[in-house]
């Protein structure tokens, strides 16, 4: 009870209200999850109110003067460092109104039906040219996915962290690196946060492993969602499946379609149009607009769209869109502009700004990347298949299995090098890289129990 009183007293004595981070700084003895639970009780009891969204949300005394509430609300503004068009400013002005002032709206079929691939353009020609100039790499004419694989280690960290951060994940970029590179979960973080990061990593790896075949079809989309949703949904049957029930959008007056059949139909139309779009950036942006708007899944629609938006960029060997430094409040407002107004201008301005940030990061680091090991590149598929076979048969001697596979498949002059690389890969194996080899955690656990790896 004293913790509740302490939090309430701090909020009541702060004229402008306090964020969760500010409350935790004042009361370091209260755990984050405990504080969240106590704050929820204070809100339910009518003692405090919450204004704003995400990390910018502030908690105020329920009887605070209106002027204080307005001041606190203004702290949750659209970031001024992201340039906006006049149309985007109109969207922000509408979305920033209280819920009661915004008109409830359902799914607008005409929004999708009116789009004509390669005739309708959400991104004007001049803007597409600009994006192509920003994202062009030296691998433009190489096989699909060449650039993405060259920067994979950095991409896994940045995109997993940034996309999870937009969902309120509190892992730092350094925490994310430790988890992805060494399999070390950060102390004091919720299990679901760790799972979210690892799911992003798995999904990105799966996309790049299969990028030649990846298209905007049900198979790719369902498996992408399944990878992102693993162990995070209340009903595991919803992983990789079109939702069977209605959903609500938090802090929005938008009500998506509620029954499976219309959702299935709209999804087929959406994917069909996406496949026809010729320009990779238009295709990418179209998916970022329409996939969350349809809300085809029980949850994780926005994060699925963020990864799906990279498919055409991976295929064309363009710089990826990592969402680094994208503010949560900006992204949420842009999404609400689509949901409630079927207008794309605010999301478009954010997309262009975010892509420029990504390209600045990646075109600079590409110069510092070591050239890929030619032996590892040439024998990549063999190495992965050999490791998969070793783990799948724990009753066999690992070294003997690898030696036999190398002797059967690799020319004599290259056997020593390929064998050394394969053994190195096996020694570095951990739970965070199992998807690369098509392995399940249970298979790896069984093998470890036998060989003590």
Residue 330 sits in the same domain as residue 381: no
List the one residue out of 190, 202, 244 whose CA is nearest residue 227: 202
Q: Averaged over 165-188, what is the pLDDT?
A: 93
Listed range (44-58, 114-128, 298-312, 424-438) with the worst mean pLDDT: 44-58
Whether 378 is in a domain gets the answer yes
Number of structural domains found in the chain: 3
CA distance 183 to 231: 17
81 within a domain of the structure (yes/no) = no
Q: Which of 17-21, 157-161, 406-410 has the lowest mean pLDDT?
A: 17-21
Where is the domain boundary, 340, 366, 392?
A: 366
- φ and ψ at 406, to 5 degrees? -65, -45
303 and 447 co-located in one domain: no
Same domain, 40 and 154: no
In the predicted model, is pLDDT for residue 359 greater than 60?
yes
Tokens of 8: 């309430």
Residue 153: inside a domain, yes or no?
A: yes
Whether the per-residue pLDDT at 227 is higher than 70: the answer is yes
Q: Please indicate, yes or no, whether residues 47 and 21 belong to a single structural domain of this protein.
A: yes
Judgement on whether residues 60 and 116 belong to the same structural domain of the protein: no
pLDDT band at 69 (very low <50, low <70, confident <90, very high): very low
Query: Could you read off the pLDDT of 135-152 as tens digits, one per residue?
Result: 999 889 999 999 999 899
What average pLDDT does the segment 8-17 reach? 81
Pair type for strands 58-61 and 18-19:
antiparallel
Domain boundary among 24, 54, 74: 74
Task: Classify residue 309: in a domain, yes or no.
Answer: yes
Q: Per-residue confidence at 40, pLDDT binned at 50, 70, 90? A: confident
Alpha-carbon distance values, 146 to 141, 319, 345, 358 (Å): 9, 11, 32, 18
Query: Are residues 276 and 408 both part of a single domain?
Result: no
Tens of pLDDT along 412-442? 888 888 888 888 888 878 776 787 788 888 8
pLDDT surpassing 90 at residue 15: no
* Shared domain check, 354 and 212: yes
Q: Residue 169: its pLDDT value, please?
A: 93
DSSP structure class, residue 122: S
3 state SS of 79: coil
Q: What is the predicted pLDDT for the residue at 71? A: 43
pLDDT recorded at residue 75 = 46
Q: Could you tell me if residue 435 is inside a domain?
A: yes
67 and 92 share one domain: no
The reply to whether 63 and 139 lie within a common domain is no
Residue 80 lies in a domain: no
What span, in angstroms and rounded, lies between the C-alpha atoms of 334 and 285? 13
Least confident window among 58-67, 105-114, 272-281, 391-400: 58-67
Question: What secondary structure does DSSP assign to 159-224, as a single string?
Answer: HHHHHHHTTT----HHHHHHHHHH--PPTT--HHHHHHHHHHHHHHHHHHHTTTT--SSHHHHHHH
The reported pTM is 0.70
Q: pLDDT-based confidence at 198, cuts 50/70/90?
A: very high
53 and 125 fall within a common domain: no
What pLDDT band is residue 373 in, cutting at 50, 70 and 90? low
- Domain for residue 235, yes or no? yes
pLDDT average, residue stretch 230-252 = 92
Q: How confident is the model at residue 29 (pLDDT cuts 50, 70, 90)?
A: confident
- Residues 278 and 202 reside in one and the same domain: yes
Contact between 366 and 137 under an 8 Å Cβ cutoff? The reply is yes
Q: Which domain, by its residues, includes 431?
A: 374-451
Same domain, 24 and 128: no
| Residue 61, domain CATH | 1.10.10.10
Residue where one domain finishes, among candidates 335, 366, 397: 366
Residue 79 included in any domain: no
What share of the chain has pLDDT > 70, as a percent?
A: 92
> pLDDT at position 70, please?
46
> Which comes out higher in pLDDT, residue 264 or 447?
264
């Amino acid at each position: 009870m004293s913790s509740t009183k302490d939090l309430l007293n701090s909020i009541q004595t702060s004229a402008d209200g306090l964020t969760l981070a500010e409350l935790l700084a004042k009361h370091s003895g209260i755990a984050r999850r405990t504080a969240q639970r106590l704050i929820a009780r204070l809100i339910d009891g009518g003692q405090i109110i919450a204004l704003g969204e995400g990390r910018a949300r502030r908690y105020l005394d329920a009887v605070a003067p209106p002027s204080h509430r307005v001041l606190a609300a203004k702290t949750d503004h659209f970031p001024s460092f992201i340039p906006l068009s006049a149309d985007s400013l109109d969207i922000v002005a509408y979305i920033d109104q209280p819920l009661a002032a915004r008109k409830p709206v359902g799914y607008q079929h005409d929004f999708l039906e009116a789009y004509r691939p390669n005739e309708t353009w959400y991104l004007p020609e001049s803007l597409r040219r600009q994006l192509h100039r920003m994202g062009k790499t030296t691998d433009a004419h190489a096989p699909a996915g060449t650039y993405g694989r060259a920067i994979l280690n950095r991409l896994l960290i940045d995109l997993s962290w940034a996309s999870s951060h937009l969902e309120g994940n509190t892992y730092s970029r350094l925490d994310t690196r430790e988890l992805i590179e060494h399999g070390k979960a950060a102390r004091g973080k919720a299990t679901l946060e760790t799972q979210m990061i690892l799911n992003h990593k798995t999904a990105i790896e799966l996309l790049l492993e299969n990028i030649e075949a990846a298209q905007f079809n049900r198979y790719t989309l369902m498996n992408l969602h399944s990878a992102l949703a693993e162990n995070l949904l209340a009903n595991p049957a919803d992983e990789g499946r079109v939702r069977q029930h209605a959903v609500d959008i938090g802090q929005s007056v938008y009500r998506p379609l509620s029954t499976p059949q219309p959702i299935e139909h709209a999804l087929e139309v959406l994917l069909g149009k996406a496949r026809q779009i010729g320009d990779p950036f238009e295709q990418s942006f179209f998916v970022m607009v329409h996939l969350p708007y349809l809300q085809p899944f029980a949850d994780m629609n926005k994060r699925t769209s963020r990864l799906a938006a990279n498919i055409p960029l991976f295929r064309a060997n363009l710089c990826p869109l990592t969402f680094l430094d994208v503010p949560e409040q900006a992204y949420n407002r842009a999404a609400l502009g689509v949901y409630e107004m079927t207008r794309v201008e605010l999301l478009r301005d954010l997309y262009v700004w975010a892509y420029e940030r990504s390209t600045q990061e990646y075109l600079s680091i590409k110069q510092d990347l070591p050239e890929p090991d030619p032996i590892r590149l040439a024998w990549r598929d063999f190495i992965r298949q050999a490791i998969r076979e070793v783990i799948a048969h724990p009753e066999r001697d690992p070294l003997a299995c690898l030696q036999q596979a190398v002797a059967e498949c690799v020319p004599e002059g290259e056997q020593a090098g390929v064998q050394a690389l394969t053994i190195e890969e096996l020694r570095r194996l951990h739970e965070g890289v199992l998807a690369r080899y098509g392995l399940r955690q249970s298979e790896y656990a069984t093998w470890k129990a036998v060989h003590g790896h």
